[in-house]
Structure 1
Amino acid sequence: MPAPSLRAAFGHLGPVPAKMEHAAIDAALTAPTSPFALEERVLPHNGVLTRTWKNLPRSTRDFFLMTAQAFGPRELVVYEGTSMTYTEAFERACLVAHWLRMEFAVRKGDKVGIVMRNLPEYLIAYQAIHLLGGVAVCLNAFSDGDTLAFCVNDVSCRALICDPERFARLQAVYPDLNKGKAGSVAGIAVTARVGAGFAEKSERSWEGGRAGPKVFGWEELDAKHKPTLPKGPPQAEVDPDDDCIILFTSGTTSRPKGVVSTQRSNLSCLMLTTYGIARAFLRRGVPPPPPADPKEHDLQATTLVCIPLFHTTGIHSGMTGNMATGSRIVLMHKWNVDDAVRLIQKYSCRGILGIGFMVREVVNHPAEMPSLESVAHGGASAAKELPGEADRKTKGMLAGVGYGLTEVNGVACANYGDDYHREPTSIGLPPAAVELRIVDPITLVTLKEGEQGELWIKGPGNAKGYYNRPEATREAFMPDGWFRTGDLCVREPKNGLYYIVGRAKEMIIRGGENIATVQVEDAVYNHKAIADCAAVPLPERTLGERVAVVCVVRPGEEMPSEEDVLAAASKSLAPFQRPEYLWIRTEPLERNANGKVDRKVVAKATAERAAKQGWVPKEKTKAKL
């Protein structure tokens, strides 16, 4: 039996008039019998009455028990030609949980770090930690050894599970590891998986005690403890308000901060990530897809997940959200658009979850991908042309964007379907359980619609705070339950939608005028040849900063002239906002491990290039303001 097609609902020539208004949609979706039903609870960690989702599993442990039972025979994950079912992953997770307890004495509440690429072992390790009632610490796999060691010690990890590449970095920062000294860490388990295969036995320097008494091979621990593995999962009583997960902020301006979330906060992603899609269906007057039927194996969907699992979008929307529907997850070793297209074709992927530039590369690829029905991105902005490009690739493709942060555990605002086509620069609207407020960042007064200010979020996904950072927690997490995002936002009175206009710390200040980088970038995308861009400040004596933009040309397009790009951008920018220095290139923009543009690196490279060229403003002493 073929899988139901989104095109039945979204096969259109363009956005159609909305059949339901947003208030009516929220009322329908949150009805008492709906999966999205709401209730109010006082959260123990802050004492604040908060709107929460009524139908969440009690804990992440319970969630994995439920998915294993419901979807057991289905394939859970595919990686480099190998696959694993829900049952196989669960059974392997039970074994890992067993040796975590027996070898490293991991108990409920203990923190266990995972530091590896997107491998099948990531899903197994994550399940295992939660089966014990432990706290999963998702470490940035692309961090240098010093940063990894800082994060591990900062949150006092009891054990680490890593791949060989990350183990090599840890060895460098733990010089006495061979003597059994590794801070708070009682043990390190290293998987032998390397890229598409496994390291040869002779190359596994971490096995057999050769790397010290605290270091073991994942595979040798499996062999050692399998004979004593009890029947069934380990026992643990886990409550909704127990600690669940620690994710790290990107740390582009300082040391990374560990964001601590409860079971309820973590699992709120199950509703937060799907609410916007359900809204898109009702806006078109079509009922949302029914919950996954475990018996209908032929209806299983497949999603290519391109975002790192240590990222909130990866772990929440990519892994947890897909497991909730019994979907198959396809992982890739590292990003490459040709590899991504090959995987979509081979496994008939119906959806792709990536960062904006990844999704654009896929939908603009010349290859045919008839199975692809939906594309979604998060973690970074994308060009406003994306929904149109997706629809031209496959008529009726459902496209959308989710806005969220590590501190809110997933999507706090979403824009899908026809609304995304009409307003591609908007982040849409929040799910019904989430409240948004736009506040003057100086006076902390709530602003009116149409006024630009800092976006604050209150909802069931909000984290408890930053681990071991009381001052930073007080600055960002308000006593009444609101979280300060640091993003500048405006709510448009005409349609009620929200628009991010920049970061409070990412403004370009030109002669006293504040210029939002996002607004400049959106204008540059007016030129059809530009696939990616970043607006950055260019230091200059007269006005302090000038507007510079680094542009990446779409593959297959001719290199445009600076004049053409400026002309296209100027159509939607005031004179003082227009770029004064352009760097048009084919090389991709520098990005951090979370896929976001590393503006510090881009700005530094731009300034160095401009200085080398001897660039000066056209109006050096008398600029138009």
Structure 2
Amino acid sequence: MSWKPLRSLAESESLLTAPGTVHEVETVFVDGRLQRVYKNLWPSLREFWLSAVSQYSDDTYVVYEDQRLTYSQVHARAVRAAGVFRDVFGIKKGDRVGICSRNCPDYLVAFWACHLIGAVSVLVNAWLPQEPLLHCLVNTQCKLVIFDPERADLMHSTIQKIQHTASEPVSFLVFDFKEHNNRVWEGIRSFGDSLNDYRVDGAGVVDTPIVVLPEDNATLIFTSGTTGLPKGVLSTQRQFLTNVYNVLVGGFRASIRRGEDTPKVQRTVPQKGTLVTVPLFHVTGSTSFSMMATMTGMKIILTRKWDVEEAVRYDKVFVLINVARVQQFLRLIKSENVSVAGGVPSMVTDLTLSSLVGHPLEGLLFGGAPAPATLVLRANKAFPTATMIQGYGLTETNSIAVSLAGEDYVARPSSTGRASPVNEIQIVSENKCVPAGVAGEVWLRGPNVMKCYWRDPEATNALITQDGWLKTGDVGYLDEEGFLYIKDRNIIIRGGENVLFKDSVTVENALYDDPRILEAAAVGVPDERLGELVAAIVSIRPEFQGQITEDTLIAHAKTRLPKFAVPVMIIILDTTFERTPSGKILKGELRKIARSHWELRRRGGNGKAGREALANL
């Protein structure tokens, strides 16, 4: 598709960042160097939350099953929780509070309680097995850890180990759920009981002066790293909050390019909502959508799992779908007057093949996994009234750094977009910046790039250069107009879940736990529904040749990996891997082998692995 925008890229950028707009920028010294930042960004999450409460006090903030709480009600509970954290558990500015839970209203209560007193919220991936969860909690040295009942079941036997390795006493709480009312775990106290027993007026939490600056620590969110264990991504207040504005850039640019007025962030009547089915411990669930909803006065509709029976009737709902059963989703769209939908390619594919085609959607989002260019064009044809929106980023950039929307996206369906007003992109090959059209590693820079990997300076220095460039590990190129095209990713994304970052060590280490394995390499194979699936290739030690099968290796992997990271196919080679002169495995060649095998299996009807993968949704 070719189109003639009413405004040039330069003119649109000037209007987007003009004085008085949401995206107005300024240049300031941050961490010893000049950076472009958003001028009107809140200095801290504390001030951000207090501003939202003052504007939307009586509006609904969170809905979960039969619970419905307003901004002021959540604030009152968060203030009380902050008082408990401070006065009962001794939490002060800069201390870390771990939240290890599925989505629920008290997750948001605990999050805001942390930031009311300047504590660092540690958002732990609750889907991990016990060993990596224990690593996260021990490594971050939290003074307080809050579980949901499932994680309390999983982790209560490790409490003494956590205490033994901590430099200070650690306290443990558990969120209250109706189905677990009578459960008791030794050493873990009820979150609700702790709040109810607190007799001090919590107003002092807000009235007590506390200075939280933009460069103070704010969050620790986990991803996987080069050791194969989760790494804590430490971000400052500014780094975390920058994405609240970045997530709006794509849609705003599309409107301006069409010749429309620069959009404004304003309250809507009737109130809109955000249906969040992705975990709040992900940057997508926390920074992109929950924080955006908080900024604009939307209600956050949380679900424990994707089940239409859990959805009550709301007004107009903004939906982010991760991995959902499409028929439930279709019923929700039609019954709830949903105007914006999207998610990973599997969901968008389902929509384009459903009876919903032609429904007057206003927006359709792509993200979380590679989106084929053909899908973008097919979706645009199926939903001609919808603005197509694409986002690209990492946990280490607190989600979106690059975005693309509207006619620009449809005209360039293979692109991931242009950098936000405060981000920069450069393409590097052999330690040199290469010109437009030449492929290399994608580097990103901006005020949303993480501060560091927690307690891992070696990994931090390997990822971020001294002048602030983050090496994504993705291969891509820029065109003459600054649009980014990703050609290859050293990251496998299964249904929106980042299986591993930078390399395949997480999956490979699990396979190497079997002493019969000589070499292991994890790669991604394409899948129309989930974007990519995890596959692996192994070679066997000579003394064990012929004694190991694919099924036994997959069964072994299931005992050591989260469900989404278990390979759907493991190829056993009779020879050792080809390597570079420096000894590095030639993963490009292995990826070709895996994709060829995967295609042959699909064509031959041997889709057992694929069917099992889909059955896990």
Q: TM-score range by the shorter chain?
A: 0.7 to 0.9
Select 1:116's aligned residue among 95, 101, 126.
101
Q: Which amino acid aligns with 1:167?
A: A
Q: What is the aligned partner in structure 1 of residue 594 from structure 2? A: 548
Q: Quick one: structure 1 residues 136 and 388, their matched pair in 2 at CA, closer, same or farther if it must change by over 3 Å?
A: same
For residues 176 and 253 of structure 1, what CA distance do their matches in structure 2 show?
A: 22
Segment of structure 1 superposing worse, 133-142 or 20-29: 20-29
Q: Which amino acid aligns with 2:30?
A: L
Cα pair 1:532 1:552 within 8 Å, conserved: no
Equivalences for residues 448-487 of structure 1 within 5 A: 448-487=435-474
1:199 has 2:179 as partner: yes
Cα pair 1:131 1:234 within 8 Å, conserved: no
For residues 322 and 171 of structure 1, what CA distance do their matches in structure 2 show?
A: 34
Equivalences for residues 462-541 of structure 1 within 5 A: 462-493=449-480, 496-504=482-490, 521=526, 532-534=531-533, 541=575
Structure-2-length-normalised TM-score: 0.77
For residues 278 and 302 of structure 2, what CA distance do their matches in structure 1 show?
A: 9
What SS class does the counterpart of residue 549 from structure 1 fall into? helix
Q: Which amino acid aligns with 1:199?
A: E
What SS class does the counterpart of residue 548 from structure 1 fall into? helix
Q: Quick one: structure 1 residues 535 and 326, their matched pair in 2 at CA, closer, same or farther if it must change by over 3 Å?
A: same
Cα pair 2:391 2:416 within 8 Å, conserved: yes
Q: What is the aligned partner in structure 2 of residue 59 from structure 1? A: 44
Q: Quick one: structure 1 residues 155 and 192, their matched pair in 2 at CA, closer, same or farther if it must change by over 3 Å?
A: same
Q: Which amino acid aligns with 1:292?
A: Q
What SS class does the counterpart of residue 268 from structure 1 fall into? helix
Select 1:173's aligned residue among 144, 149, 158.
158
Q: What is the aligned partner in structure 2 of residue 366 from structure 1? A: 355
Select 1:321's aligned residue among 263, 269, 292.
292
Cα pair 2:44 2:238 within 8 Å, conserved: yes
1:27 has 2:68 as partner: no
1:583 shift after superposition: 8.0
Equivalences for residues 424-439 of structure 1 within 5 A: 424-439=413-428
Q: Quick one: structure 1 residues 531 and 62, their matched pair in 2 at CA, closer, same or farther if it must change by over 3 Å?
A: closer
What SS class does the counterpart of residue 257 from structure 1 fall into? strand
Q: What is the aligned partner in structure 1 of residue 54 from structure 2? A: 69
1:313 shift after superposition: 1.4
Select 2:243's aligned residue among 266, 269, 294.
269
Q: What is the aligned partner in structure 2 of residue 256 from structure 1? A: 230
Q: Which amino acid aligns with 1:165?
A: E
Segment of structure 1 superposing worse, 369-378 or 240-249: 369-378
Cα pair 1:58 1:239 within 8 Å, conserved: yes
1:99 has 2:84 as partner: yes
What SS class does the counterpart of residue 174 from structure 1 fall into? helix
For residues 244 and 30 of structure 2, what CA distance do their matches in structure 1 show?
A: 19
What SS class does the counterpart of residue 197 from structure 2 fall into? helix
Q: Quick one: structure 1 residues 74 and 419, their matched pair in 2 at CA, closer, same or farther if it must change by over 3 Å?
A: same
Q: Which amino acid aligns with 2:54?
A: Q
Gaps in structure 1 of 5+ consecutive residues: 1-13, 509-515, 554-558, 566-580, 596-625
Cα pair 2:434 2:440 within 8 Å, conserved: yes
Segment of structure 1 superposing worse, 239-248 or 322-331: 322-331
Select 2:369's aligned residue among 357, 380, 388.
380
Q: What is the aligned partner in structure 2 of residue 245 from structure 1? A: 219
Aligned identity (percent) is: 31
- Describe the superposition over 1:101-148 as per-residue Cα deviations: whole angstroms up to 9, x where unpaired: 122111111110111112122211111110111101110010112211
Q: Quick one: structure 1 residues 126 and 389, their matched pair in 2 at CA, closer, same or farther if it must change by over 3 Å?
A: farther
1:550 shift after superposition: 8.9
1:188 has 2:172 as partner: yes
For residues 150 and 358 of structure 2, what CA distance do their matches in structure 1 show?
A: 33
1:257 shift after superposition: 1.0
Select 2:123's aligned residue among 123, 134, 138.
138
Gaps in structure 2 of 5+ consecutive residues: 307-323, 493-502, 505-521, 538-570, 579-589
Cα pair 1:533 1:589 within 8 Å, conserved: no
Q: Which amino acid aligns with 1:450?
A: G
- Describe the superposition over 1:325-364 as per-residue Cα deviations: whole angstroms up to 9, x where unpaired: 1112222212432444444445433334633333443554
1:301 has 2:285 as partner: no
For residues 226 and 263 of structure 1, what CA distance do their matches in structure 2 show?
A: 31
Segment of structure 1 superposing worse, 343-352 or 477-486: 343-352
Q: What is the aligned partner in structure 1 of residue 197 from structure 2? A: 224
Q: What is the aligned partner in structure 1 of residue 261 from structure 2? A: 287
Aligned alpha-carbon RMSD (Å): 3.3
Cα pair 1:302 1:351 within 8 Å, conserved: no
For residues 83 and 433 of structure 2, what CA distance do their matches in structure 1 show?
A: 51
Q: Which amino acid aligns with 2:153?
A: A
1:232 shift after superposition: 6.4
1:531 shift after superposition: 6.8
Q: Quick one: structure 1 residues 535 and 244, their matched pair in 2 at CA, closer, same or farther if it must change by over 3 Å?
A: closer
What SS class does the counterpart of residue 199 from structure 1 fall into? helix
Structure-1-length-normalised TM-score: 0.76
Q: Quick one: structure 1 residues 91 and 548, their matched pair in 2 at CA, closer, same or farther if it must change by over 3 Å?
A: same
Q: What is the aligned partner in structure 1 of residue 395 from structure 2? A: 406
Cα pair 1:535 1:547 within 8 Å, conserved: no
Cα pair 2:345 2:530 within 8 Å, conserved: no
For residues 15 and 124 of structure 1, what CA distance do their matches in structure 2 show?
A: 48
Select 2:33's aligned residue among 39, 48, 55.
48
